[in-house]
């Protein structure tokens, strides 16, 4: 009975989420990307990234309510919440950009190539009970003996998918699932 109630709640959340395009902002804060250069600061350094006007415009058009915006040059070795190989996104290099920002109470990452073309965006889902019912069902059925470690919601042009990282005692798995519950890619390996 409790499992059926959980699926009902997840389904209602999925319907609600499906009604709102993921790239539209509902927050009314202002963007902090007003200058030609963006200053990136982390615990170890402060660097200036020259972000072309076209790239900034593409970003602010797509995410007009983004806050806490930080631009950096793409670094393939940096730790980000996406498995690039699983997502199948275009390969990027250090001439391309990663922008981290906050929107709708989520921490987003978005990538743009050096021409200002959006490659994709992702955020880590804080509440996995908000997965669409079809995604929850396929994970529950196919990976019944696994525990969900994390879920990333990924957006690319006209596609959206969920990258689900799972673990069990002796192995881990990553599954890329579309909102209808179709497994796009999967991989497992021993721990």
Among the three residues 121, 137, 160, which one is the final residue of a domain in this structure? 121
Instruction: Please indicate, yes or no, if residue 28 is contained in any of the structural domains.
Output: no
Question: Which ranges of 20-126 would DSSP assign to H, the alpha helix?
Answer: 53-62, 84-87
Distance CA 102, CA 109 (A): 9
**Mean pLDDT of all residues in 19-46:** 37
Residue 77 sits in the same domain as residue 102? yes
pLDDT of residue 149: 96
Residue 138 sits in the same domain as residue 96? no
Distance CA 140, CA 30 (A): 40
- DSSP reduced 3-state for 169: coil
Report the CATH number at residue 168: 3.10.450.40
DSSP labels, 133-168: HHHHHHHHHHTTT-EEEEEEEEEETTEEEEEEEEEE
State in Å, rounded, how far the first CA of the chain is from the last one: 34
Residue 66 sits in the same domain as residue 139? no
Residue 100 sits in the same domain as residue 78? yes
2 or 21, higher pLDDT? 2
Instruction: Please indicate, yes or no, if residue 110 is contained in any of the structural domains.
Output: yes
Can you give the pTM of this predicted structure? 0.75
Instruction: Please indicate, yes or no, if residue 27 is contained in any of the structural domains.
Output: no
Instruction: Please indicate, yes or no, if residue 74 is contained in any of the structural domains.
Output: yes
Distance CA 130, CA 5 (A): 13
pLDDT of residue 38: 52
Q: How many domains does the chain have?
A: 2
Report the CATH number at residue 78: 3.10.450.360
Range of the structural domain that residue 108 is part of: 37-121
């Amino acid at each position: 009975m409790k499992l059926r109630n959980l699926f009902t709640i997840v389904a209602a959340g999925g319907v609600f989420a499906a009604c709102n395009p993921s790239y539209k902002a509902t927050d009314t804060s202002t963007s902090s990307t007003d200058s030609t250069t963006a200053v990136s600061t982390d615990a170890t350094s402060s660097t200036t990234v020259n972000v072309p006007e076209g790239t900034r415009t593409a970003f602010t058009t797509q995410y007009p309510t983004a806050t806490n915006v930080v631009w950096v040059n793409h670094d393939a070795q940096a730790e980000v919440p996406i498995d690039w190989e699983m997502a199948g996104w275009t390969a990027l290099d250090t001439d391309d950009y990663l922008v981290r920002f906050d929107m709708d109470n989520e921490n987003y990452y978005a990538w743009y190539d050096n021409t200002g073309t959006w490659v994709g965006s992702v955020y880590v889902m804080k509440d996995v009970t908000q997965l669409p019912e079809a995604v929850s069902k396929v994970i529950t059925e196919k990976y019944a003996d696994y525990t969900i470690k994390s879920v990333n919601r990924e957006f690319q042009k006209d596609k959206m998918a969920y990258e689900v990282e799972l673990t069990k005692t002796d192995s881990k798995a990553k599954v890329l699932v579309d909102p209808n519950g179709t497994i796009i890619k999967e991989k497992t390996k021993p721990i």
